[in-house]
Amino acid sequence: MEASSANERLHFGKMGYGCQHYRRRCKIRAPCCNEVFWCRHCHNEASSLLKNPMDRHEIVRQGVKQVICSVCDTEQPVAQLCSNCGVNMGEYFCAICMFFDDDTEKEHFHCHDCGICRVGGRDNFFHCKKCGSCYAIALRDNHLCVENSMRHHCPICYEYLFDSLKDTTVMKCGHTMHCECYYEMIKRNKYCCPICSKSVIDMSRTWKRIDEEIEATVMPEDYRHKKVCAYYDSCSYRTTCCFISESRIS
């Protein structure tokens, strides 16, 4: 009976507390400004709205030292179990990232090479040391490496990709961006990487259609035999071609 009671106490309130980012049974005290927030994202969002730009800052997740239990309101040093009521403040807990989350369906895991916690299951990801981040197993030996490709901002929305909560995609050129930004770009008929201008999809059918249009277009005599220097972003190839081919350079 006592064991059952202790187990009930341990899991009391699971998934019943938290914010839009995480379900957890504790809040954190930000070491930078001493304010209390549900998580670092809540802190960073609030900080970004401060009127004085000099006051805006982001929390260092590993610097969190104190948490407040949401069940009994006891403030205490970071730990998985509340020192007062014994409740589990997070079914998943990382003592390195000072991170709590009750939603275990996310399959959290800590990547020591990244230095942060990831979601999706450790067995489903590998860490690419050159790209500097975890990628899906399907991309192992199947992607073009770009040094520290994840440690930059999304070229569309400009959110930092490395620790973004949104899904990311790796394009054919090796550069990365948010999945939702990628699909929005494609929907707007933009098929080139915003960073290097290489094609992100197979453009062979498009080139064939343009070739057919060029062949059907009669060029003025003054331009018919002229040559131009061409650089093809898709393959980084330089060449000299007839003037009429200029329209298909991408």
- Are 30 and 41 a contacting pair, CB within 8 Å? no
Cβ-proximal residues to 187 (8 Å cutoff; 6+ apart), any chain: none
Same domain? 97 vs 123: no
Same domain? 55 vs 18: yes
Token digits for 145?
């490496």
Same domain? 98 vs 113: no
User: pLDDT value at position 245?
Assistant: 43
Residue 198 belongs to some domain of the structure: no
Question: Residue 48 is part of which domain span?
Answer: 2-106
Average pLDDT over residues 147-171: 92
Cβ-proximal residues to 14 (8 Å cutoff; 6+ apart), any chain: 23, 25, 88, 91, 102
Please state the domain count of the chain.
Answer: 3
pTM: 0.76
- Are 30 and 59 a contacting pair, CB within 8 Å? yes
Of 106, 125, 148, the residue at which a domain comes to its end is 106
Per DSSP, which regions of the chain are E strands? 26-29, 36-37, 66-69, 75-77, 92-94, 99-101, 109-111, 116-118, 125-128, 133-136, 168-170, 176-178, 227-232, 237-242
Same domain? 217 vs 131: no
Burial group, residue 183, by CB count within 10 angstroms (0-12, 13-18, 19+): exposed
User: pLDDT value at position 202?
Assistant: 74
Residue 47 belongs to some domain of the structure: yes
Residue 193 belongs to some domain of the structure: no
d(CA 5, CA 8): 5
DSSP 18: B
Same domain? 102 vs 120: no
Token digits for 172?
């054919």
Same domain? 142 vs 156: yes
User: pLDDT value at position 165?
Assistant: 87
Residue 218 belongs to some domain of the structure: yes
Burial group, residue 66, by CB count within 10 angstroms (0-12, 13-18, 19+): middle
Same domain? 28 vs 93: yes
Of 146, 161, 187, the residue at which a domain comes to its end is 187
pLDDT of 4 higher than 70: no
* Predicted confidence band of residue 15 (pLDDT cuts 50, 70, 90): very high
Same domain? 50 vs 63: yes
Same domain? 57 vs 114: no
User: pLDDT value at position 36?
Assistant: 97
pLDDT of 118 higher than 70: yes
Same domain? 69 vs 137: no
Same domain? 143 vs 238: no
- Are 24 and 45 a contacting pair, CB within 8 Å? no
Other beta carbons within 10 Å of 98: 20
**Sequence-ordered alpha helix ranges (H) in the chain:** 2-10, 40-48, 179-187, 204-215
The pLDDT tens digits for 55-98 are 899 999 999 999 999 999 999 999 999 999 999 999 999 999 99
Please give the residue that has the higher pLDDT: either 189 or 106. Answer: 106
User: pLDDT value at position 94?
Assistant: 97
The pLDDT tens digits for 188-247 are 988 889 999 888 877 676 666 766 676 667 777 776 666 666 655 555 656 666 665 444
Residue 11 belongs to some domain of the structure: yes
